[in-house]
Amino acid sequence: MLMVKTRLGQSLIEGTGLFAAEPIKAGTVTWRFVPGFDQLFSAEQIAALPDMAREAIETYTYVHEASGLYVYCLDNARFMNHADNPNTAGVHVDGAIEGYDVATRDIEEGEELTCDYRVFDAGYVRKIGE
């Protein structure tokens, strides 16, 4: 669940992106996994969905590496794009789904929030092609 004010906009990285609606100081928690708000799906649940629903879930989820569960953020966090040098980073306990992201530097109002999919998404290859 997003912990900072954001807005959606056209991204120079890819499609729609997530942008800071106010300045964010380095170290600020920007996102936190909130059970019951952020939804979890197994691969079996996703496979049983109709094609269009499955495609949407696969596009807007990340795969938790330890559990293999797909995490679907109900808010606009799902529009955060990948960057090799992101302005947020995750703080996670090995094996636990719960975690949070922090701003790695000051982020200006209107700047796109980014993360490194390779760090937390077991399905990153299908998204960024590495």
Q: What is the CATH number of the domain that holds 100?
A: 2.170.270.10
How confident is the model at residue 90, as a pLDDT?
Answer: 87
Give SS3 for 23. coil
pLDDT in tens, 43-76: 999 999 999 999 988 888 888 877 889 999 999 9
- Domain presence at residue 86: yes
- Domain presence at residue 53: yes
Domain that residue 104 falls in: 6-128
User: If you ran DSSP here, which 8-state letter would residue 80 be given?
Assistant: P
How far apart (Å, rounded) are the C-alpha atoms in residues 23 and 110?
A: 8
- Domain presence at residue 85: yes
CB 30 within 8 A of CB 18: no
- Domain presence at residue 1: no
User: Is 0.95 topped by the overall pTM?
Assistant: no
Residue segments in the chain with a per-residue pLDDT below the cut of 70: 95, 122-126, 130
List alpha helices for the chain, DSSP H: 43-47, 51-59, 117-120, 124-128
Neighbours of 59 (CB within 10 A): 11
Q: How many domains does the chain have?
A: 1
